[in-house]
Structure 1
């Protein structure tokens, strides 16, 4: 009975997180009804990515990750961060299925992320591991959204104007933010994460579930790295040739 009650409580908390993200999305549509679904989705993603990055970095403490930290019991703050991200990934996966016709890699990323959060929530000691993983996966996300960001409105609630929707897609600030995002993403996902996955696979602390999660997220990251390199090559090679 205690186990059933605990599982049902976790399910209710996940549902509350999902409802929050759905409410926030609907709220943005009332504030800016003329914007596209993608615009509203990017505002939601910006909020999640920013909070997840800051909270993940604070909880992870990457400079002091050791055996003691990795085997500590999950704290309430770490569990709350897991709920924060579970609801977002569930909402964004549903949004992608309803509205988006882009790369299937993003769908795979969301599915893997949901499975990963569920696995981490079922463990008693994986809070630090989850926080570090989330921080690394989301740290470039605010830059991805800022790539669309220009300024903040003053006459309405603080929602961002997005570069491409506001006609600033060909400005220097857009290209500067885009290049910073590309460099960060490739450095973290292709280089740093390769090193970390090697360390994870050779760890005697992390169990098989965590190693499989690391490999799955790493595989998705490599595909995204390939897609970004292809995009950069196509876009900037054409610009150089045209000049």
Structure 2
């Protein structure tokens, strides 16, 4: 089951055809479940249809939503409590690459010390620490193509930082179709680690992604606080699933985004 069907990532995963039961706050999915209201909707659904093998919690609060960022901790704990009450043995909680630090040339591995610079990263790390335990895996997800601030930004032209070497911001991305395959693999895996980075094998320059999408771009000198690289080591994930070369390319990511849009 996927909780957070009405999130940006959830809508893209629906477009990718991910075979799952879907839960969200309000009607329009298999289960109307406001997570903070308690476990009863989930336990009732599982009593009727049987407990799923895993609960994937995409529901959360991101900057600019008008809700308290600190609610991420409460949402994680409430979802975990509900899963336990419903007899669901595996919970995958969506965290973020924002839990890592600011400046690092090499990819971040899951065992690296986390010193998040943003309030959002701090809130997600607090959620991780509160919810850690048996049967729980934290998914430190990189940028999801089509759900991130680049491709959803209405500004034209897009404004992108240019760093001293001429590059734009470099990030670990994953396409919605690849993410759907990853979640399926994790739901079916015999065992999972407590923390797992989620991204494609090769990071992408955001300026290349904008170009592949045909979006006009304006460049500016990067301010001192800008993060040039935030990339993830996915060695653990690669033991659980395989990737195609196109999963990491700017063109492949844009193709996945366009294929999964609800209004296509």
TM-score, structure 2 normalization: 0.30
Structure possessing the higher radius of gyration over alpha carbons: 1
Higher helix share: 1
Higher strand share: 2
TM-score, structure 1 normalization: 0.32
